[in-house]
Structure 1
Amino acid sequence: MSRPQQVALRVLPQLIFGRSHTYGGSFTGSGTVESVACMTRKDIASFHQTWFRPNNATLIVAGDTTLTDLTPKLERLFAGWKPQRIPPKNLATVLPSGSSTVYVIDRPGSAQSTIIAALIAPPPFAASEIAIAAMNDGLGGTFGSRSNMNLREEKHWSYGADSRLWPARGPRIFLAVASPELSLAKHEFAANGRFQFQLPAPCKEFWRPRRAISDHLAAQ
């Protein structure tokens, strides 16, 4: 855990979702030194028996075959793999706090810092998903997006800046991330707030996201 971004991503989910939520676990691994040290073979086998079930799996087959030919073979090969009840997971909607909060993780001696702005985004199946994807691509989802062009190419404050929607079936976290030199962190923090989120996007910023989304839909 020597890299600032990894440290931040380990702490962030529980700050957004809380410890009891399914998505409250670390983004960079769910264990600790202590939990890994005391893990047993029985623990691993129990996890496998609980979650690796046909009613909790998706099988993808690619090749020169048909469903008619493939189905009896799969049914024979997996005949002993029986379904069972899968424990429910807490995917409850998390409401925004209504105010901004700043958390600081002090790492003495760090030459670089990581700034992460995070908020709750709708599940990926929402009617607004295409608009959300276009927003993310224009803001920080590609190299030529607003945040990277401004903070890296124009100001040279950061090696890179981006935004992303963390994959999930339920409510997601939207992240805007940059890693500036420590002496520039306070300037970048202020610039992100003013430049990234307050200025309306001109039409030219939406050309690339629209094309990317159209190409993706055509390939499906």
Structure 2
Amino acid sequence: WYRVGSADEEPGKTGAAHLLEHLMFKGTPAYPSGAFSKIVARNGGQENAFTSQDYTGYYQTIAVDRLEKVMAMEADRMTNLILSENDVKTERLVVLEERRQRIDNNPSAILREYVNAAMFLNYPYRNPVIGWADEIRSLTRKDILAFYRRWYGPDNAIVVIAGDVTVEQVRPMAERTYGKIPAVSKPPRPRPGRVRPQEPPQKASRRVVLKDERVRQPFWSRQFMAPSYRNGATGQAYALEVLSEIFGDGSTSRLYRSLVVERKLAVSAGVRYDPSALGPARFVVYASPRLGVSIEQLKNAVADEIKILLKSGVTSDELERTVRRMQADAVYARDSLSTGAQVLGESLVIGMSIDDVESWPERIGAVTVEQINAAARAVLIRGHSVTSTLLPLKEGS
């Protein structure tokens, strides 16, 4: 895991973090282009990589007796990456095609880009992780190598190893591989700090409407700026996690029961909230109308549920049931090797501690009704929101 994501890119160079992720497979003097993936596959392993707003990650699933081999290869490409002009040109085209397929051909993804740009006035989460097409086209070999040399090094990385191994086994492997690499932040060129712009206070609501002939199912959402584990009123994050479950997670949630089951106004309804971020998080309320139900009817129904929530709050019974379910889910998640590694990695890479991860069930269990209701009143302010609508393009419109 590297402590760098798309939100760390320089202005005018969006897409650099994601393009570099692709180019990290192009090879080093020790492992030429394609060799890394072939060696992993030949040893019965699997691999992949991912880029987010706050971090970039590379992983392998491999047998224990091959662990040091992949650690050595990762350590090698941490500082010895070789890129030709043709490598960058070729992979740039691959990324542009990926963007065309995943975003430009997907009305929901297009709307999401416009909503992000409206939500964040100054914070770099307003830019897409994959980058804007024109800026991807302008990225050069020099740009990518500068980004690589600035951010990739052992002092800016976290290695997570999950499996049938012990610290006593793994520490010597790490010392023999990553331990040999000098920190890139040493003189004479110290790495600049990870400084992000500040998001100004939200003072106006915004509305985004996209009409597209490819849309078959209308969609409505309202997003509210919210604290995360690392930004804003961080103490509210755990209360907001519980609130999101009560109000909009699954078929037993308030929103789903009201809009889908009882009033039959929507085919889906829910809430999205993820506080695992360096910057501000978003509390998103969404729904899709049934045939014959207008967006106006749907919007008013959601507004009614939010009003009830803000006026009456959640109940102690709702809190108890929800916390019990969330804690059980956290226990079951540990049965998955990859899920445990993912949670630990994405927490550590944004500056949280192992104790923060281990104590999550207790912190959720300590949330009170009063804390949830206070967090709801602090966050669910319509005048600070972005409302979005995705609609079919009618004939003659």
Call closer, same or farther: CA 1:179–1:89 in 2, change over 3 Å: farther
Question: Who is 1:82 aligned against?
Answer: 183
Match of 1:189 in 2: 299
Structure 2 partner of 1:211: 324
Instruction: State the TM-score, normalizing by the size of structure 2.
Output: 0.48
The equivalent of 1:107 in structure 2 is: 212
How far apart are the structure 1 equivalents of 2:144 and 2:280? Answer: 28
In structure 2, relative to structure 1, the CA distance for the partners of 1:109 and 1:217 (3 Å cut) is closer
Please give the secondary structure, in 2, of the residue aligned with 1:174. Answer: strand
Larger Rg: 2
1:124 aligns with 2:234: no
Q: Post-superposition shift, 1:139?
A: 1.1
On the 8 A contact 1:4/1:114 being kept in 2, the answer is no
Gaps of 5+ in 2: 1-103, 186-190, 335-357, 359-397
CA deviation map 1:35-81 (0-9, x unaligned): 33444444444333332222222111123333233222212212135
Q: 1:9 to 1:91 in 2, by over 3 A?
A: same
> Which of 179, 202, 210 is the matching residue for 1:96?
202
- CA–CA distance in structure 2, aligned partners of residues 34 and 40 of structure 1: 12
Structure 1 length-normalised TM: 0.81
2:115·2:208 contact (CA, 8 Å) conserved in 1?
no
For the residue of structure 1 that corresponds to 2:222, the secondary structure is strand
Question: Could you tell me which of 271, 281, 285 is aligned with 1:163?
Answer: 271
Q: Which residues in structure 2 correspond to 1:19-168 (within 5 Å)?
A: 20-26=122-128, 29-78=129-178, 79-80=180-181, 82-84=183-185, 85-90=191-196, 92-97=198-203, 99-107=204-212, 110-125=215-230, 126-166=234-274, 167-168=276-277
Identity, % of aligned positions: 22
CA distance in 2, matches of 1:91, 1:102: 24
State the Cα distance separating 1:127 from its structure 2 match. Answer: 2.1
Higher helix share: 2
The size of the alignment, in residue pairs, is 216
Q: Which amino acid aligns with 1:122?
A: P
Question: 1:15 is matched by which residue type in structure 2?
Answer: A
Shift of 1:175: 0.8
The alpha carbon displacement at 1:94 in A equals 4.0
Deviation at 1:91, TM superposition (A): 5.4
Offset of 1:211 from its aligned partner?
Answer: 1.0
